[in-house]
A and B are shown apart, each in its own frame.
Chain A
Amino acid sequence: MYTVADLKKGLKITLDGDPYLVVAFDFVKPGKGQALYRTKMRNMINGTLLDRTYRSGETFDPADLEERQMEYLYKEGTHYTFMDQANYEQVVMEEETLGDAKNFLLENLKVDVMLFGEKGIGVSLPNFVNLRVTETEQWAKGDTSGNDTKPATVETGYVLRVPPFIEEGELIVIDTRNGEYSTRVKG
């Protein structure tokens, strides 16, 4: 149990059944009056921001959060299934919850799943993933501009810009933090 005295940036609490991250906090106390604790919090599931003002004496439940390494298994419709290799427990997450991470999920990829109680609320990916190009246009020989990029689709269905020399079937490295092409896998 937290009290208002524990409030600070970065604290994670449970509010109305959802986990929230305190992103801004200020203590105000007008002339001999009661102290107010102004917070701005981000819902860790849907990202919405919330302003709340608390008074001393109020308490909060900590958010029961845990990060566990799991393996991505498969997708069914908009449901993505992950499994903890240690105890074979499975967690299913909605496409919406995964956000951009869904673009880089290839079967058997190991990711860190953020759990709120039993519920998966997000994944952290490795910074770089290798994905195979499944579709891209041929590089027109003789095009020497060198700076151009072209669209390419990778095996997860994600489309990104790649250099013109990348061919179908090649394995490329993608930076998951910005979703951009990084390099091609040699050999």
Chain B
Amino acid sequence: MNSDVLWLRAHVVRAIRNFFWDRGFLEVETPLLIPANAPEEYIDPLAALPWQLQTSPELCMKRLLCRGHKRLFQISHCWRADERGFRHLSEFTMLEWYRADSDYNALMADCEELLQHVATACLAEAPFYRHQSCRIDPFESWVIISVQEAFWRFSNTNVWECLKKGIYEEILTEMIEPALAGFSAPVLMTDYPAELAALSRLKPGQTELAERFELYLGGLELANGFSELNDPLEQRRRFENANRLRIGVGRGALPLPERFLEELGSLPPSAGIAMGVDRLVMLAAGADTIDEVVAFTPEQL
């Protein structure tokens, strides 16, 4: 890890802060140690008995929206058990931002402006790089493609069929993400099947879809954003379903975030997004692995 990358990382973080401060977002710090995360089928929190480390700051940030804050952002550490790879660290840095009275379309516009701002502020040439050779220019016009269309176009499959057969992740990582790496502009993949909604609102009039999107640069998943579900009964049902699925695969049920569920009824129509800061620095540095952009990896401790 050379000091140039640490400088670049610091510049990227400062550029993110400036971007949100300039737009009137309130920077917040919410507790990292919490009694319950949002139960998800495939995300395991790290225990910090009797509580857990956050897997995302989303629950506390949405509770702040319930209290009347309109625009919030936070850069914080998150922990997810057993996630380690070329683009995963069990402890990583997440940027999340939230907008009341908005939907996911506003977040997509934010993404475009944010990446252009970071590129201009931190990068001599302005484009990002996925590996040394794959150039992604945030000033080119962004590609928007629905999940359904991406599956048709790049793998000749139906996404619902893939979900049913249990091969969704394989198709996504073996065929879709490599195809997305072929675009020289950032790609917004939108409108996920409702089965993959988790905490997002379903699309009005098209309830088989969720108002959720993911941002890809060079085939690297950088951010996940959605219009927030604010129906406490539906949210509880989804959490309980996630726990049922967890029990079914031997992962065990997780405690429900009761305070969050109590307050969710007062959440205004909102949208929120999580972006991996380490991955953004990878793209800024043209780094192949996440190891190259952190001061220390767990293996070095």
Residues of A within 8 A of B (CB): 5, 26-36, 53, 55-57
Contacts and interface: CB of A to CB of B under 8 A. Distances in A.
A32 B86 contact: no
A33 B42 contact: yes
A29 B42 contact: yes
A33 B250 contact: no
Return the 6 tightest CB-CB contacts between A and B, nearest first: A27-B85, A33-B169, A30-B172, A34-B42, A34-B169, A28-B173
Given A27-B86, A53-B170, A57-B249, 6 more contacts: A29-B85, A30-B173, A33-B169, A33-B196, A35-B83, A57-B250
Interface residues of B, number: 24
Contacts of A26: 85-86
Interface of B: 40-43, 82-88, 168-170, 172-173, 177, 196, 198, 214, 221, 224, 249-250
A27 B221 contact: no
A34 B42 CA distance: 5
A163 to B, nearest CB: 46
Contacts of A32: 40, 42-43, 196, 198, 224
A35 B43 CA distance: 9
A53 B171 CA distance: 12
Given A5-B82, A27-B83, A57-B250, A33 B88 contact: no
A30 B88 contact: no
Nearest to A4: B82
A55 B221 CA distance: 19
A28 B85 contact: yes
A28 B88 CA distance: 8
A35 B85 CA distance: 11
A57 B251 CA distance: 9
B170 A27 contact: no
B84 A27 contact: yes
Contacts of A28: 85, 87, 173
Contacts of A27: 83-86, 88
A172 to B, nearest CB: 46
B170 A31 contact: no
A104 to B, nearest CB: 38
A98 B50 CA distance: 56
Contact of B221 (A5, A31, A34, A36): A31
A56 B169 CA distance: 12
5 contacts: A28-B85, A29-B83, A30-B221, A33-B168, A34-B169
